[in-house]
Amino acid sequence: MAAVTTESLASLKSDLAQTLSSAGLTAADELFAAVDVIDGSASLRRSLTDPARQPQQRASVVRQLFGDKVQEPVLAVLEAAVSRRWSAERDLTDALETCAVEMAAAHAESEGLPGLEKLEEALLGFRRVVASSHEVQRALTDPQAPAEAKQKLAARLSPEAPEAARLLIDRAVTAPRGMRPTTLIERFAQQVASRQQRWIAQVTVAKKLDTAYLEKLSKSLDAYFGRELRLDVVVDPTVVGGIRVQVGDEVVDSTVATRLNSLGRQLAG
């Protein structure tokens, strides 16, 4: 992420912290809808991110377009976002999506810490279910499948998901914005985890790990990465053996499949 965008997103979240915390799920849904409108028009994206136009001009475009369609907190976020500079057009809508997730997470957090934990677990649980089935993955990424069908499938796969998780899961399967739904869910979950000052470690193993081993692994990874991690364990027999851990952009891979692939490349060379 370019420095300009990083600074703009940080200041946006800081300046609107109270608005994001109190807006609620309806506002989050409206903000997601605004993202779709902006994503759907190249000319609008250019207009709202053009540094040659004054911030007030860009904010005026937003008010004219969305003023009578969204509630005031959503309009405040939109105006504040377009008044900032972004390194790329896509960065604006990425930032708005981030703000919508913050609204959903704040709604869960208003129910106390268990609310955030339930949201995080629901997102990760859904990701694990989808990742374990190629058939489900195909169904959720089929460009010909209607959004309603994907929502119904997602609901069957996550029947216990709380309200905030339902909104984010539905969003990921119906409007992943060029990403795989599971990848977007991971991003959402990581954002929720950051509100609890912890990171998610995506752990891939060949077979299910017992509780004692998981506790030992958790302590080892906390020490290795220097922060508290939440383990998101996925069983994938294709890794053959060993373990793969990803935290953010950092990957530690000791799987047999990876070592065999590496050996094959060496022999071929």
**How confident is the model over 8-18, as pLDDT tens digits?**
999 999 999 99
Average the pLDDT over 96-115 and give the result: 89
Last residue of a domain, one of 81, 109, 137: 109
Say whether both 16 and 72 belong to one domain: yes
Last residue of a domain, one of 164, 197, 230: 197
**How many other β-carbons are positioned within 10 Å of the β-carbon of residue 88?**
13
DSSP annotation of 245 reads E
Say whether both 65 and 123 belong to one domain: no
Say whether both 56 and 16 belong to one domain: yes
Q: Is the pLDDT of residue 251 over 90?
A: no
Say whether both 101 and 139 belong to one domain: no
Encoded tokens for 143:
């460009």
- Domain of residue 11 covers 3-109
pLDDT tens digits along 122-133: 999 999 999 989
Last residue of a domain, one of 56, 82, 109: 109
Say whether both 88 and 127 belong to one domain: no
Say whether both 11 and 102 belong to one domain: yes
Between helices 55-66 and 72-82, what is the axis angle to 10°?
150
Say whether both 101 and 19 belong to one domain: yes
Domain count, the chain: 3
The answer to whether the pTM exceeds 0.85 is no
pLDDT at 241: 76
Say whether both 174 and 223 belong to one domain: no
Residue 127 and residue 123: Cα distance in Å, rounded? 6
